Amino acid sequence: MPFRFHCLLVLLSLVIPAFAQDHAADAKIAFARAQHLQRGINTSHWFSQNAQDYSAHHTDTETTPDDILTIARLGFDNVRLSIDATPLEQAFHGWGDADFLPRLDKAVDEILATGMAVQIDLHPEESFKQQVRSSNDAVDRLVLLWRPLAARYAGRDPERVFFEIMNEPEVSDPYRWAGIQARVAAAIREVAPANTIIATGPNYSDIVDLLTQHPLPDGNVIYNFHFYDPHEFTHQGANWGASWWIYEHGIPYPPTEDSMAALVKQVPDLADRSKLENYWLDHWDAQRIRLLIDEAQGWAKTNHVPLICNEFGVYRQAAEPVSRLAWLHDVRSALEADGIGWAMWDYHEGFGVAVKDANGKSVVDPDTVKALGLKGK
């Protein structure tokens, strides 16, 4: 055996076991910290999804300190804090509102002060995602954005501060997304060696997208997926996504032939109507939901990684309350049966566990709290 080759084998025999031990230790940390993400809520439209206004007035009134205390009293153990990439990037470059970052700090600290954990979720608008999908320069921009963001919060309690690489990346090529995600994770780890990272699949972070991915080399990672199946039910009345959803209202869950026979006629286009017909032909019920979520848990078990579902919900506007509550109960129950932590979408916007009254005050819906299995205080 050549001497140099022998030296290489000796070196590998030393390095590989050490790497395996470090990876196993890091994975143990991730599994332990996933226990802080068992029952969460999304605070949408606070620091994200409101591109026209991230002023102090907006962020001070959209979700208030009283709202954060209410969330904690209801029994949630974590908040997924979504942050739009554009105002964040502007703030780091000294553009835009000078107090954006201090206001974001305040929000993070208010959540942590209740004892809850916080998922710091980079939640870009569509234009940012489009660039990441097609431009390597935009990927560089994403990496450069995460370095100061992770560094800013690395000093907070790493047991309860999590870094989520990107919400629903909409990168259709799973191999491209895998490469992007690995680069961002490595950049985060350079400046935040102790924090746990949250990674996801490409596209819209559905279960099928998660199944395309292999775990990152970093062991201190939790993986997530989103669950809104079937969209014909959960997004009825929505004016985004499929154009025909806006025609739907009162679609029941679970569906039956008797209940759906007349309702499918709400959708004028025959091709779209057939999709709604398939909603009941496909027998959507608690068993079907459980089987789908089992697929996600099977991936996690195969890869020995912790898993959460940090978005699921039903748009309130056109759904019958009884059906909405039944779906929330069945999804939440399936997740918990598989030991998967969850975060509902969202607090007091279109899918909310609460609704805003005429004065802008959040009023908690006790039936939604019950469907989520929370006790409240």
What pLDDT does 377 receive? 59
CB atoms within 10 A of CB 185: 22
* Residue among 329, 242, 334 at smallest CA distance from 279: 242
* Mean pLDDT taken over the chain: 93
What pLDDT does 179 receive? 97
pLDDT band for position 77 (cuts 50, 70, 90):
very high
CB atoms within 10 A of CB 272: 18
With beta carbons less than 8 A apart as the criterion, state whether 141 and 365 touch: no
Q: In terms of residues, how long is the chain?
A: 377
In terms of pLDDT, which residue wins out, 8 or 76?
76
Instruction: Region of 144 please: left (phi>0), alpha (psi -120 to 50) or beta.
Output: alpha
In terms of pLDDT, which residue wins out, 14 or 215?
215
Distance, in Å, from the CA atom of 221 to the CA atom of 355, rounded to the nearest integer, reads 34
Domains and CATH numbers, the chain: 3-229+284-371 (3.20.20.80), 235-282 (no CATH)
CA-based torsion, 247, 313, 278, 205: positive or negative: positive
Distance, in Å, from the CA atom of 196 to the CA atom of 173, rounded to the nearest integer, reads 25
Distance, in Å, from the CA atom of 221 to the CA atom of 213, rounded to the nearest integer, reads 13
Q: Given a cut of 90, is residue 8 above it in pLDDT?
A: no
User: 155-179 pLDDT, tens per residue?
Assistant: 999 999 999 999 999 999 999 999 9
pTM for this predicted structure = 0.93
% of the chain at pLDDT higher than 70: 94
User: 270-320 pLDDT, tens per residue?
Assistant: 999 999 999 988 989 999 999 999 999 999 999 999 999 999 999 999 999
What pLDDT does 257 receive? 85
